[in-house]
């Protein structure tokens, strides 16, 4: 029986065991604002193995795995140093994490095909992103959404 040229898929372990393909990008200075019109979306050419984000702007940066994760009502966010930025519990948002101004996230070992960026409060901010990519094409990766049973993404 022929193998019929099997394709990689999100559960294909060897794709995460080899060295990653490098990927780096940055927003323009003060490009990222608050709200759907000022949100920046990074779509990766392949599924990530890991990523790190630096917020080099003057505002806190909210990062979500879906647009709805940044815009939905209810819940609250978290930041890496345990500090919850002002207005987090009252701004009616959920399912994102916050990178404080002038800080860098830890290396996040997460498989994603998109990331959504928004200034946490009023004003604009900017970021740099470094990711390691697998050889898995985004079309092979499932759509992650709360309506499909994926909790914590929006």
Which domains can be identified in the chain, with CATH numbers? 18-148 (2.60.120.770)
Beta bridge partners of 127: 55
Predicted local distance difference test score (pLDDT) of residue 87: 47
Kind of pairing between the strands at 96-99 and 78-79: parallel
Predicted local distance difference test score (pLDDT) of residue 77: 54
pLDDT in tens, the chain (154 residues): 566 666 777 777 778 788 899 999 999 988 999 988 999 999 999 999 999 999 999 899 999 998 888 886 544 456 666 555 544 444 555 788 899 999 999 999 999 999 999 998 878 999 999 999 998 888 888 777 666 666 666 6
Rounded to two decimals, the pTM is: 0.82
Predicted local distance difference test score (pLDDT) of residue 24: 98
Token digits of residue 50: 């890991």
Predicted local distance difference test score (pLDDT) of residue 149: 63
With contact defined as beta carbons under 8 Å apart, do 69 and 75 qualify? no
In angstroms, the CA 42 to CA 32 distance is 12
Provide the CB-side half-sphere exposure for 103 (13 A, CA). Answer: 15
Predicted local distance difference test score (pLDDT) of residue 9: 73
Provide the CB-side half-sphere exposure for 102 (13 A, CA). Answer: 1
Predicted local distance difference test score (pLDDT) of residue 106: 94
Strand segments, DSSP code E, in 38-77 are 40-43, 48-55, 61-64
Predicted local distance difference test score (pLDDT) of residue 2: 62
In 3-state terms the chain splits into helix, strand, coil percentages (rounded to 5) of 10, 30, 60
H or E element at residue 130: strand 127-133
∠ CA(128), CA(87), CA(85), 5° rounding? 45
Predicted local distance difference test score (pLDDT) of residue 75: 44
Predicted local distance difference test score (pLDDT) of residue 96: 87
């Amino acid at each position: 029986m022929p193998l019929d040229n099997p394709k990689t898929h999100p559960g294909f372990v060897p794709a995460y065991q080899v060295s990653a393909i490098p990927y780096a990008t940055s927003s323009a200075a003060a490009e990222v604002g608050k709200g759907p019109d000022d949100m920046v979306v990074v779509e990766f050419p392949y599924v990530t193995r890991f990523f790190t984000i630096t917020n080099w702007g003057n505002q806190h940066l909210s990062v979500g795995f879906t647009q709805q994760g940044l815009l939905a009502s209810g819940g609250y966010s978290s930041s890496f140093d345990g500090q919850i930025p002002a207005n987090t519990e009252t701004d009616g948002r959920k399912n994102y994490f916050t990178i404080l101004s002038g800080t860098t996230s830890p290396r996040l070992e997460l498989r994603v095909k998109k990331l959504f960026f928004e200034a946490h409060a009023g004003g604009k901010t900017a970021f740099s992103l470094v990711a390691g990519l697998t050889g898995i094409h985004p079309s092979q990766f499932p759509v992650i959404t709360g309506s499909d049973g994926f909790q914590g993404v929006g």
